[in-house]
Amino acid sequence: MRVLGVDPGLTRCGVGVLDSRPGRRAELVDVLVVRTPVDAPLAERLLALSVELEAAVERYRPDAVAVERVFSRHDVSTVMGTAQASGVALLAAARAGVPVGMHTPSEVKAAVTGSGRAGKEQVTTMVTRILGLAERPRPADAADALALALCHLWRGGAPVPAAAAGGPTAAQRAWAAAEAAARRPTRQGAALPPGVGPAL
């Protein structure tokens, strides 16, 4: 089983890909951090993140995508950016028909360290040990993405790929229907361009 973990963020978005191995072990496939410039317009940042995440899903073809479940914090601006990045990750998975697992930060920490209150350094240390890495994943977003993938491998179950299920998933069907609707003629008889839906 292959899991692509996403630690959502607008400035830095961690992406970690792991393959499961017998005996509750995992093997690193790749880890990277997608960055967007803080001074760019929000729409452009989300688009850039979307392009990179969809490319990662296409490149690594995971059996599941694991995304951190966003919780409210006192810093509203930070949680908003995280939530928006999380939505982009969910959309990338849905477009590819890949099942998604969402895990809370405490659940991820408990899975890799044994404590739901572990700090970032402790998480990084345990991810390094579990995967047998020569160097610690940096920045912390990279380690967190790998921790999410580990958590899903150990606690998320084994989803059935769309092909094995005998056809497109519900997410794939919904996406195809949305694209078909966007291409239908408008009331004035003009077809909408690809990827553009009717005004709400």
Here the CATH number for the domain that contains residue 146 is 3.30.420.10
Identify whether 75 is a catalytic site residue: no
Question: Is 141 known to be catalytic?
Answer: yes
In a domain, 179, yes or no: no
Q: pLDDT tens-digit profile of 7-59?
A: 999 999 999 999 999 988 999 999 999 999 999 999 999 999 999 999 999 99
What domain range includes position 14?
Answer: 2-167
**Overall number of domains in the chain:** 1
Residue 180 lies in a domain: no
Determine, yes or no, domain membership for 106: yes
Kindly state whether residue 135 falls inside one of the protein's structural domains.
yes
Residue 56, domain member (yes or no): yes
194 located within any domain: no
- Which among 7, 52, 63, 144 is annotated as catalytic? 7
Kindly name the residue from 58, 141, 144, 179 that is annotated as catalytic.
141
Q: Kindly report the backbone phi and psi dihedral angles of residue 89, in degrees, each rounded to the nearest multiple of 5, phi listed first.
A: -65, -40
87-97: pLDDT as tens digits: 999 999 999 99
Residue 113 belongs to a domain:
yes
Length of the chain equals 200
Please indicate, yes or no, whether the overall pTM of this predicted structure exceeds 0.85: no
Give the residue among 8, 21, 26, 91 at the shortest CA–CA distance from 57: 91
Q: Which of 52, 63, 68, 144 is catalytic?
A: 68
| Feature table: binding site for Mg(2+) | 7, 68, 141
Binding-site positions? 7, 68, 141
Whether 68 is catalytic: yes
Binned at pLDDT 50, 70 and 90, residue 155 comes out as confident
In a domain, residue 73? The reply is yes
